[in-house]
Structure 1
Amino acid sequence: MAVEFRPKRIRTVSVVSAVFLVVVFSVVGWLLTDTPTGVIFRTSDQVAMVVLGVLLASGVLLLARPRVRADETGVEVRNVVTVRRFEWSDVLHVSFPDGASWARLELPDDEYVSIMAIQAVDRDHAVAAVRALRELHRAATG
């Protein structure tokens, strides 16, 4: 049995924010013209504003990237920029500490890896994800 979880609320927020940024920077770029103060905006300045909006939107969309995949052999955690795979034998347990923003994998030597795909704001979805991961961990480690 393989499972995959992604955050729900942050994906919606990041997509809406990215669209908003592109629209705002496009409108600002379109409105850049000669001003009565003598400042001259060229076409390249207008294009640069739109490109800046697209770059900022791309950065915001990175927040929608987290994912966790797990199967009988291990778990793969993809956070904003990193992807790591762990065998279940390397994982002590899956936890979601009180007050934490996201779940985490507890590793030996007091180390842990945050699972940004399982976020507290997703409530029931987060509970189901943690339970599924714990079940897979329990089945794999006995």
Structure 2
Amino acid sequence: MIARPRKVRFVSAGFAVVFVGVFTLVAVLLKNTPTGVFFQTSDQIAMIGIGVLLAVGALWFTWPMVSADASGVLVRNMLAAKFVPWSDVVAITFPDGASYARLELPDDEYLVLMAVQSIDGDRAVAAIRELRKLHRAAQSAS
């Protein structure tokens, strides 16, 4: 089972296109400004580079992923990935009003599943159900 955020992809892709488009347009128009400042080709390239960097930053929000199998769950959030065996998972929850699902761990700790977002609606519900099914199967096998 693999889960990734869906609606965030469309929003991030839209922002990425806008960033590259706007910064490219500004770069093209940069030499034609009557401000008395002389912009070089390197300034234009730098402006496009800034747009590309902002686009990569926007697309970074599509990075989260949850992958689960009989052995456990691999959670990849924005900065790090972590594998959690089913034996360490107490429950899979989606608290009221929360943006993300989470794995409840021992000692009142939890791990946020940024790939399972409330904005995705039915896809998030299906992902939670599949995770719970795998968790039950792993508990009954041990």
Into which bin does the TM-score normalised by the smaller protein fall?
Answer: over 0.9
Aligned position for 2:92: 94
* 1: CA distance, partners of 2:90 / 2:136: 10
Structure 1: which 4+ aligned runs deviate by more than 2 Å? 34-37
Aligned position for 1:134: 132
- 1:37 is displaced (CA, Å) by 2.9
Structure 2: any 5+ residue segments left out of the alignment?
none
Percent identical pairs in the alignment equals 56
Residues 68-107 of structure 1 show CA distances to partners (whole Å, capped at 9, x for unaligned) of 0000110000111211000000011100000000100011
Aligned position for 1:32: 30
For the 8 Å contact 1:34–1:40, the answer to whether it is kept is no
The TM-score, its normalising length taken from structure 2, stands at 0.95
Q: How many residue pairs were aligned? A: 140
Structure 1: any 5+ residue segments left out of the alignment?
none
Mapping of residues 30-109 of structure 1, within 5 Å: 30-33=28-31, 35-109=33-107
* 1: CA distance, partners of 2:6 / 2:132: 20
The TM-score, its normalising length taken from structure 1, stands at 0.95
- 1:34 is displaced (CA, Å) by 5.1
For the 8 Å contact 1:69–1:75, the answer to whether it is kept is yes
